A = this chain, B = another copy of it.
């Protein structure tokens, strides 16, 4: 690819930027205003959730948005701090530093830097498939468990008590003894905010629509609920002097933009943060790409998964150099962005300007903002992530998937986010390898009146006791190579009459070196037992490759075009008689096989 081609590939902004018009600009500007209002409380709240000062949340909502606008392929994705990644950040940073220290902030910045570099590397090396191994049940179980844990953790600031712990269980343990120290003023603010926010979510949209608002406008307006809660409770704390009654407030939020600086480079620290950063990247990417694909499909737009890795990588590197923490595409804010009518990623860049203006001029207004209100906004946001019903559905659909999901939920709640996620991924890959290593193998016979061969266990077919016809419903490669060897060894030992083995290979898309070795061993062993080995219906590319091996020279039998040819070459009478036999009124073979295999 030439330089302009490379630039166009890695800088999607060159594509949409060239077609940018004044009308699009006005539109994007309006959208940015709406999203900014929604993003301010979220940024503050998720920074607190990550154990950081509130302004860090604002910092993480500037540079990343601009960089995503340059590198991203989704028109509607809105990046920034999100709940699950913030929880994971807190868990990882707490392992290497104490909350509130410069080392803790350094650790979260390093997490953003490592996540960013990992995502960039995955994007450039086209390793996005790694995210596939976070199966849907695992990610869904993980998000449910994270939601429960975040909500439980935020109950403490809502009640005005102290709590800490890496897992749900630890959190509960540390909270219970403090229940006697609930601050009634804080709790009043917290529960009032909770009640209001739940009502906004459930009751406000119908009400607004009854007042004649469109569905979309009503939905968007309802998203401004948290801002109202913040304004009212901040005013209440200031007006009634509630800080004197022990209500904790945000306090001084430094004015001004973040200064650019490099994240701390320490081999020891980076090594310790590597696995958590990888998990944060992958969880963030999976969530982000799924939102992006969903929104793109609604307008038949394209999202490039590899380029999205690069865009999220750049966003996180941007977060790191501007004093932020790990960011990713958020579901709720992307939907708002989309529904408000964002036409290009420029809307995101304008949102960043909105946040910057807020950081420059609005921070004094946040002084009396009670922590309880922010905690309430988090609880309301994360409870929508909790979906325990999915566990039942998944278990009902597939035991293996259900088990992986249950393990993820349990271990996340008991041991924390990393343990839960790793256990889920490990169990899914293990179950995958297990199933892969035991493919379906059918003994087949000729369907009377046809040249087709079908499973003897499911169809009335014609067979010859001297011929063992096997159809392997999988590619032959190392996870199942030994299984096939053992299967043939076992079947031949159990059928002493067999003199010919035919492997029907229509489903064999590849034969790797291990399977080739197994086939050579099978051929050799069958030869020692006086049995010939034949192959049939070998696909073109597989045959091309086999020609580069010694198997075809050593094969005791032949490679036949079709299974019928193979059987005909050994017992022509039987094959012909079977072909001439009427089919006793059974349904057409292709259909019956497809429906009842």
Binding site for B on A (CB under 8 A): 129, 131-133, 135-137, 140, 289-290, 293-294, 296-303, 305, 393-394, 396-398, 400-402, 405, 428-429, 432-438, 440, 473, 477-483, 485-486, 489-490, 492-494, 496, 506-507, 509-510, 512-514, 516-518, 521, 524-526, 528-529, 537-541, 543, 545, 548-549, 561-562, 590-591, 594-597
Contact = CB atoms under 8 A, between A and B. Distances in A.
20 contacts: A129-B437, A129-B438, A132-B478, A132-B480, A133-B479, A135-B481, A135-B514, A294-B524, A297-B489, A297-B526, A297-B528, A301-B493, A302-B490, A302-B493, A393-B549, A401-B512, A405-B513, A537-B594, A538-B594, A540-B596
A298 B525 contact: yes
A539 B479 contact: no
Contacts of A591: 561-562
A300 B140 CA distance: 50
Contacts of A302: 489-490, 493-494
Given A514-B136, A529-B298, A597 B489 contact: no
Contacts of A545: 397-398
Contact of A293 (B393, B485, B516): B485
Contacts of A132: 437, 478-483
Given A132-B481, A428-B478, A509-B473, A489 B538 contact: no
B305 A514 contact: no
Contacts of A477: 432
B525 A594 contact: no
B136 A513 contact: yes
A301 to B, nearest CB: 7
A562 B594 contact: yes
A538 B597 CA distance: 10
Contact of A137 (B290, B296, B514): B514
A509 B440 contact: yes
B473 A549 contact: no
Contacts of A538: 594
Contacts of A401: 512-514
A509 B507 CA distance: 11
A136 B481 contact: yes
Contacts of A298: 525, 528-529
B525 A293 contact: yes
Number of copies: 2
Contacts of A510: 435
A597 to B, nearest CB: 5
Given A129-B434, A132-B479, A300-B529, 7 more contacts: A135-B512, A136-B514, A294-B525, A299-B529, A302-B494, A397-B545, A428-B478
B562 A131 contact: no
Given A438-B129, A482-B132, A300 B496 contact: yes
Contacts of A562: 590-591, 594
A595 B561 contact: yes
A539 B590 CA distance: 11
Nearest to A298: B528
Given A132-B482, A298-B525, A481-B132, A513 B398 contact: yes
Contact of A433 (B133, B514, B516, B521): B133
B594 A539 contact: yes
A507 B509 CA distance: 11
Contacts of A521: 290, 293-294
A528 B432 CA distance: 33
A311 B434 CA distance: 22
A492 B133 contact: no
Contacts of A300: 492-493, 496, 529
A131 B561 CA distance: 34
A39 B562 CA distance: 50
Nearest to A550: B393
Contacts of A289: 482
Nearest to A565: B591
- Which residue, A297, A485, A517, A596, has most C-beta atoms of chain B within 10 A? A297
B489 A293 contact: yes
A478 B133 contact: yes
Nearest to A474: B509
A302 B540 CA distance: 34
Nearest to A546: B397
Contacts of A512: 135, 398, 400-401
A542 to B, nearest CB: 9
B433 A513 contact: no
